[in-house]
């Protein structure tokens, strides 16, 4: 049995048997969120504006790097169509993700739901002229006159590009400015940057197998009022390989139905995290991942227990 097969679990049975009435009790969020009917996704605020984002979005690296055929693009189109219908909003992409940015732009245009999405992209050019060109190309490729978030990708060209992004924000062409990394090797420089730059967003890798960001980066983001996007939440699938065909532990059933939700809720247990962006190219995975934005979140003690359980699994 694969990890994605645990889509109807013991907690689903508890939801059905509990009945809808208990969930309607005033203030009884945890029960209501676990009712048999889909509940709205939990949201967290962007500190610089107060705008709220659902806790789970989608990443597009690798999976959206496809060609132009309808067959290749059909499942991706369905995901981008269903994302806002299911309560999600954020789509993260980049020019460096092969054709992903183009695919996102084309499909969102064809679907006609741009106004229901929060589109984040990136710029990764050392030369300022090249960076400006890449940014303008993103507007064209995404078929939009306003981009919600542009991030300096992996710190490349940071000192020159950040002022340009701030000018574009002031002019109303972009809504938020950020910086991203997905490499622990950049953390020292990333932390120094966070200490001196005023940013709306950072994006960083954080997962059950890569916890270093929780030591300094996430607390610093919270202290500095920066929203946090989390990439590589599944560590390129390594967490599922280690979990194997095991069922999730009984003590985690109040938090997660599947391993995917278990690993996402581990990340979302940190209140500094604004939105986690797992790569998502199929509807069944979209629905599963969005389930992590419902119901109760683990507290610090439960997050520690999740770590201890995972660490005890055979590697």
Q: What pLDDT does residue 34 have?
A: 36
59: its two tokens: 């990443």
Q: What pLDDT does residue 46 have?
A: 99
| The total number of structural domains that make up the chain | 1
**162: in domain:** yes
**126: in domain:** yes
pLDDT at 175 over 80: yes
Give the lowest-confidence range in 16-25, 230-239, 281-290, 302-311.
16-25
Q: How many CB atoms lie within 10 A of CB 62?
A: 13
104: CB partners within 8 A, 6+ apart: 60, 64, 80, 91, 93, 119, 142
92-107: average pLDDT:
98
Query: How far, in Å, CA of 17 to CA of 10, rounded?
Result: 11
pLDDT higher at 26 or 84: 84
Say what angle helices 100-111 and 70-85 make with each other, to 10 degrees.
60
Q: What pLDDT does residue 39 have?
A: 62
- What's the pLDDT band for 35 if we cut at 50, 70, 90? very low
pTM given for the model = 0.88
**DSSP state string for the chain:** --GGG--S-HHHHHHHHH-HHHHTSTT-HHHHHTSSSPPPPPEEE-TTT--EEESB-EE-TTTT---S-HHHHHHHHHHHHHHHHTT--EEE--TTSTTHHHHHHHHHHHHT-GGG-EEEEEE--SSHHHHHHHHHHHHHHTT-S-EEEEEEETTTTHHHHHHHHHHHHHTTSEEEEEEE---GGGHHHHHHHHHH---SEEEEE-BTTB-GGGTTHHHHHHHHT-EEEEE-TTGGGHHHHHHTTPPPPGGGTTT-SSHHHHHHHHHHTSTT--EE--B--SHHHHHHHHGGGSSPPP-HHHHHHHHHHHHHS--
Average pLDDT of the chain is 91
List, for residues 178-232, the tens digit of each pLDDT value.
Answer: 999 999 999 999 999 999 999 999 999 999 999 999 999 999 999 999 999 999 9
**24: in domain:** no
- What's the pLDDT band for 9 if we cut at 50, 70, 90? very low
pLDDT higher at 102 or 31: 102
**39: in domain:** no
List, for residues 59-82, the tens digit of each pLDDT value.
Answer: 999 999 999 999 999 999 999 999
CA dist 19 → 24, 31, 209, 275, 296 (Å): 10, 10, 37, 30, 18
**Phi, psi (rounded to 5 degrees) for 58:** -135, 145
pLDDT at 14 over 80: no
Q: Which domain CATH number covers 201?
A: 3.20.20.100
- What's the pLDDT band for 10 if we cut at 50, 70, 90? very low
**62: in domain:** yes
36 with 255: CB under 8 angstroms?
no
Q: What pLDDT does residue 315 have?
A: 87
pLDDT at 262 over 50: yes
**31: in domain:** no
**119: in domain:** yes
Structural domain for 96, as ranges: 52-312
283-304: average pLDDT:
98
Alpha carbon 171 to chain centroid distance? Answer: 27
What percent of the chain clears pLDDT 70, i.e. is strictly above it?
88
Identify which of 241, 251, 261, 230 has the alpha carbon closest to the alpha carbon of residue 305: 251
Neighbour-count burial of 275, counting CB atoms closer than 10 A to its CB (0-12 exposed, 13-18 middle, 19+ buried): buried
Sign of dihedral through CA atoms 150, 226, 218, 115? negative
List, for residues 121-139, the tens digit of each pLDDT value.
Answer: 999 999 999 999 999 999 9
């Amino acid at each position: 049995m694969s990890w994605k097969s645990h889509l109807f679990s013991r907690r689903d049975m508890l939801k059905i048997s509990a009945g809808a009435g208990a969930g309607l009790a005033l203030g009884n969020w945890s029960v209501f969120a676990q009712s048999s009917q889909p509940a709205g996704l939990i949201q967290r605020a962007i500190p610089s504006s107060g705008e709220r984002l659902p806790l789970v979005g989608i990443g597009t690296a690798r999976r959206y790097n496809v060609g132009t055929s309808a067959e290749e693009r059909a499942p991706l189109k369905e995901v981008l169509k269903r994302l806002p219908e299911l309560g999600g909003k954020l789509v993260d992409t980049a020019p460096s993700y092969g054709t992903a940015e183009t695919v996102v732009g084309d499909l969102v245009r064809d679907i006609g739901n741009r106004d229901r999405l929060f589109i984040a992209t990136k710029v990764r050019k050392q030369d300022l002229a090249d960076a400006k060109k890449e940014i303008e190309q993103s507007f064209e490729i995404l078929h939009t006159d306003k981009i919600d978030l542009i991030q300096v990708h992996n710190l490349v060209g940071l000192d020159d590009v950040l002022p340009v992004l701030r000018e574009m924000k002031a002019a109303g062409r972009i809504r938020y400015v950020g910086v991203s990394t997905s490499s622990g090797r950049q953390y020292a420089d990333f932390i120094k940057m966070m200490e001196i730059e005023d940013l709306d967003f950072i994006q960083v890798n954080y997962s059950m197998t890569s916890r270093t960001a929780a030591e300094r980066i996430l607390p610093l983001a919270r202290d500095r009022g920066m929203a946090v996007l989390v990439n590589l939440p599944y560590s390129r699938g390594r967490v599922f390989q280690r979990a194997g065909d095991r069922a999730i532990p009984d003590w985690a059933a109040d938090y997660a139905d599947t391993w995917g939700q278990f690993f996402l809720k581990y990340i979302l247990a940190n209140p500094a995290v604004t939105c986690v962006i797992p790569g998502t190219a199929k509807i069944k995975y979209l629905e599963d991942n969005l389930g992590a934005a419902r119901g109760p979140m683990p507290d610090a003690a439960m997050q520690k227990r999740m770590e201890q359980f995972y660490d005890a699994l055979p590697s």
